[in-house]
C-alpha cells in the first residue's frame, strides 16, 4: 500500500482525513479534519497520539499556515447519540472534506471505510496516519482541536478534570460522573453515562 501511494503524481492535490474523540464519554462532538497536501510536509507519517502535546501544538500551527486548505468539522453530541458513533464519524468526515476551500483530486482517509457522502475519489487506509503524511497532518489537527475543546470544557466544569483525561472514561472521570452527574456535553448513549442516567431514572420511581 505505501509503495503504491508513493507513486501518486507529484502535482495531485491530496486531502488527508482523520478523526479524534471516538472513545471519550464527553465532548462537543467527534471532530474530523481535512488537510490539503502542502501542509503535510511538516510532519513525517506518524499517529498524532505518539507525539508530545507540545510537538503536536507546534506542528498544528505550521500545518494551518502552509496547507493549501484545511477544515475542522464535527458531529454534535446529539448527532452521536442519535446516529451512533460510527455514523457520526462518517458524517463529520464528509463535512471536513466538503469544507475544504480547495477541492482535492483524491481523498485519503484513515481507517477501513469511506463515508458514502464523499463524492470525490477516495480511499480508506488502515493505520493511514502512520503511512501517509497528509493523513498524519489531519490527525494532528484533529487531536489538537479536540484537546482544546476539552480544555475549554474544563474551564467551565473544573470538577470533572476534562483537561487531564480529555473526556475518556478514566477512573477520575467516572468518579466525577458519580459525584457530580451528567453534563449536556456527555454522550448519553455511551455505557457509563447511560448507566448513570438509568440509575437516576430508577430512583424517581
Domain extents in the chain: 2-203
CATH class of 2-203: alpha beta
The predicted model scores a pTM of: 0.83
pLDDT of residue 32: 44
Other CB atoms within 10 Å distance of the CB of residue 148: 13
pLDDT of residue 130: 87
Task: Give the chain's residues under pLDDT 50.
Answer: 1-10, 28-32, 38, 45, 205
pLDDT of residue 25: 87
Give the pLDDT confidence of 123-133 residue by residue, as tens digits.
Answer: 999 999 888 88
pLDDT of residue 201: 80
- Cβ neighbours for 85, distance < 8 A, ≥ 6 positions apart: 22, 30
pLDDT of residue 29: 42
Give the pLDDT confidence of 153-180 residue by residue, as tens digits.
Answer: 999 999 999 999 999 999 999 999 999 9
What CA–CA distance (Å, rounded) separates 51 from 18?
A: 15
Amino acid at each position: 500500500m505505501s509503495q503504491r501511494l508513493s507513486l501518486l503524481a507529484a502535482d495531485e492535490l491530496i486531502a488527508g482525513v482523520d478523526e479524534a474523540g471516538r472513545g471519550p464519554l464527553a465532548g462537543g462532538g467527534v471532530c474530523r479534519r481535512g488537510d490539503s497536501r502542502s501542509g503535510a510536509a511538516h510532519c513525517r507519517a506518524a499517529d498524532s497520539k505518539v507525539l508530545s502535546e507540545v510537538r503536536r501544538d507546534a506542528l498544528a500551527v505550521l500545518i494551518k499556515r502552509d496547507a493549501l486548505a484545511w477544515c475542522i468539522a464535527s458531529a454534535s453530541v446529539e448527532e452521536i447519540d442519535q446516529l451512533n458513533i460510527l455514523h457520526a464519524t462518517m458524517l463529520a468526515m464528509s463535512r471536513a472534506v466538503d469544507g475544504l476551500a480547495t477541492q482535492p483530486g483524491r481523498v485519503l482517509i484513515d481507517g477501513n471505510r469511506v463515508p458514502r457522502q464523499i463524492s470525490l475519489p477516495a480511499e480508506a487506509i488502515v493505520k493511514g496516519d502512520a503511512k501517509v503524511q497528509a493523513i498524519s497532518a489531519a490527525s494532528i489537527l484533529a487531536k489538537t482541536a479536540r484537546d482544546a475543546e476539552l480544555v475549554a470544557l474544563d474551564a467551565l466544569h473544573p470538577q470533572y478534570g476534562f483537561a487531564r483525561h480529555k473526556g475518556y472514561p478514566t477512573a477520575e472521570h467516572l468518579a466525577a460522573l458519580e459525584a457530580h452527574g451528567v453534563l449536556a456535553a456527555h454522550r448519553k448513549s455511551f455505557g457509563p453515562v447511560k448507566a448513570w442516567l438509568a440509575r437516576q431514572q430508577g430512583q424517581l420511581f
